[in-house]
Amino acid sequence: MLQGMNHEPEAELATGAQTVDRACELLREIARTGGRGIRLLDLCNAAGLSRPTAHRILRSLQMAGLVQQSTENRRYALGSGMFELGLAAPNPILGMDEVGAAPMVIVVGDSIGGSSGATP
């Protein structure tokens, strides 16, 4: 659809954006727990969402492979889809050379772990 030609009511657009924001917040909270996962109750409290809202979003994230739920303890953890997305993201460290940070990274690396073998 061309920009400026959207015929959806403003309320529907806001609701869609709010759902995306909530999903992102849930993913961040789950990521903070690492591999141990997080209970639904704790996730709701951390994200400030009601249980039905969080559960509905989590089900969608599960269907997309972005979240998984343990059958043993019912905790939520990041799914393999998040790993796939991470692999597809640009490497922020490689971009450091473009802003002139590579020499500093080499100096820091040399000071904490020996010689990098690179020349700034």
Kindly report, residue by residue over 103-118, the tens digit of the pLDDT.
666 676 677 765 545 5
Whole-angstrom CA distances from 11 to 16, 38, 101 are: 9, 32, 44
Q: How many helices (H) and strands (E) does the chain have?
A: 5, 2
> The whole model's pTM is what?
0.66
Rg, C-alpha atoms of the chain: 20
Tokens read off for 115: 């010689």
Distance CA 49, CA 82 (A): 22
Terminal-to-terminal C-alpha distance of the chain: 48
Q: What confidence tens digit (pLDDT) does each residue in 58-108 have?
A: 999 999 999 999 999 999 999 999 999 888 888 777 766 555 666 666 676
Tell me the CB-side half-sphere exposure of residue 14, using CA atoms within 13 A.
3
Q: What confidence tens digit (pLDDT) does each residue in 23-66 have?
A: 999 999 999 998 899 999 999 999 999 999 999 999 999 999 99
Q: Tell me, which fold does domain 10-89 have in CATH?
A: Arc Repressor Mutant, subunit A (1.10.10)
For residue 23, the 8-state DSSP code is H
- Domain regions of the chain by residue span: 10-89, 91-120
Distance CA 42, CA 33 (A): 11
Region of 115 please: left (phi>0), alpha (psi -120 to 50) or beta.
beta
